[in-house]
């Protein structure tokens, strides 16, 4: 039986609200929250009925009633926050993108291994039931030989230069915030690409506004992704095989529906998601299962794969000429 962990929430922003809401709605033990102020921590604790609230991240990770820390800060803080929690002996779930770059990812991965602690990227899409079913269908051979993936993640977000999505100093831009989803999906289905072709447009702040990436593989497979922060598209995805395809409805990386469609248009299978909340709790369940089993490298998304995905994002950024302050 999976051992229930006591969770601590590091940071009280929008993504932490979503994650904590799903945990509370699905019976997880959220024991503490840490913010940069006592007032912020108290407000979050009151909203979610969390017993312990802390005025600093240091106090949160030192809480003896906490076993695992969820990190919901902006990307540039992920590595430092993860290091803080790991040094305190806590298992860590880091919001995606895992870090700013692969060098940071390797550093905290090595620290977690040295401490014997689980470190996992919060790429929650991997754990959603419809994605589990998609992997089963592909493995069954129902699509024939899978040859291509097409996915977009395009949102019309704020144009305010001060907004986090447009601020390079906060890791803003379409690639890390939005592109991480289809890039990780391509890694999930096809593994490491052998070729990468990227192009991008930029905002006045220097943040990437639109980015298109094509991955090639030695066996001829192709993955095509488009991400944007300044315009909204269909946000759908398709997995194409020699015998059939899977069409995933909007929004494809959240709990949604899909169809398996034959080349003659026949619908072979229809799937409808039935999930309580947004579905972010499935990754927390994976953390608890892995810790209970002593499998500290991960399974659906290993720490080695997370580091490699960050290296892929680094390669894309090199192609489009995107660097973050301090790199």
What's the whole-number mean pLDDT along residues 199-219?
97
- Give tens-digit pLDDT for 44-102: 999 999 999 999 999 999 999 999 999 999 999 999 999 999 999 999 999 999 999 99
What domains appear along the chain, each with residue ranges and CATH number? 6-124+280-294 (3.40.50.720), 129-274+310-320 (3.30.360.10)
The tokens for 138 are 């592909």
Q: Is the pLDDT of residue 37 over 80?
A: yes
Q: Do 279 and 181 meet the contact criterion of CB atoms below 8 Å apart?
A: no
pLDDT band with cut points at 50, 70 and 90 for residue 269: very high
pLDDT band with cut points at 50, 70 and 90 for residue 2: low
* Angle (nearest 5°) at CA 105 between 289 and 116: 45
Specify whether 96 is catalytic.
yes
- Give tens-digit pLDDT for 108-163: 999 999 999 999 999 999 999 999 999 999 999 999 999 999 999 999 999 999 99
pLDDT at 1: 42
For the entire predicted model, the pTM comes to 0.96
Which of 96, 156, 203, 232 is catalytic? The answer is: 96
Distance CA 177, CA 184 (A): 12
pLDDT band with cut points at 50, 70 and 90 for residue 299: very high
pLDDT at 111: 98
The mean of the pLDDT values for the chain is 97
Nearest one of 311, 312, 290, 292 to 302, comparing CA atoms: 290
pLDDT at 34: 98
């Amino acid at each position: 039986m999976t051992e229930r962990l006591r969770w601590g929430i590091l940071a009280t922003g929008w993504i932490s609200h979503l994650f904590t809401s799903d945990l509370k709605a699905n019976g997880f033990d959220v024991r503490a929250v840490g913010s940069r102020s006592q007032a912020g921590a108290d407000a979050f604790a009151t909203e979610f009925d969390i017993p312990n609230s802390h005025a600093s991240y240091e106090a949160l990770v030192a809480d003896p009633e906490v076993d695992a820390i969820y990190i919901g800060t902006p990307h540039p803080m992920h590595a430092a926050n993860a290091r803080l929690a790991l040094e305190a002996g806590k298992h860590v779930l880091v919001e995606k993108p895992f870090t700013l770059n692969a060098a940071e990812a390797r550093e905290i991965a090595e620290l977690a291994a040295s401490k014997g602690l689980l470190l996992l990227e919060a790429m929650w899409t991997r754990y959603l039931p419809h994605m589990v079913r998609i992997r089963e269908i592909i493995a069954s051979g129902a699509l024939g030989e899978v040859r291509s993936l097409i996915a977009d993640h395009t949102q019309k977000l704020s144009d305010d230069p001060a907004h986090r999505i447009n601020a390079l100093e906060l890791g803003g831009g379409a690639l890390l915030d939005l592109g991480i989803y289809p890039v990780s999906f391509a890694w999930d289905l096809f593994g490491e690409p052998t070729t990468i072709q990227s192009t991008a447009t930029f905002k006045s702040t220097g943040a990437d506004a639109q980015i298109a990436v094509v991955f090639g593989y030695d066996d001829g497979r192709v993955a095509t992704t488009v991400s944007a922060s300044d315009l909204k598209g269909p946000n759908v995805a398709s997995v194409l095989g020699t015998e059939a395809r899977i069409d995933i409805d909007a929004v494809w990386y959240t709990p949604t529906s899909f169809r398996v469609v034959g080349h003659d248009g026949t619908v072979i299978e229809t799937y409808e998601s039935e999930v309580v909340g947004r579905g972010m709790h499935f990754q927390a369940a994976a953390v608890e299962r892995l810790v209970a089993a002593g499998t500290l490298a991960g399974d659906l998304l290993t720490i080695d794969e997370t580091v490699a995905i960050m290296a892929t994002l680094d390669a894309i950024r090199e192609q489009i000429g995107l660097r973050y302050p301090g790199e």
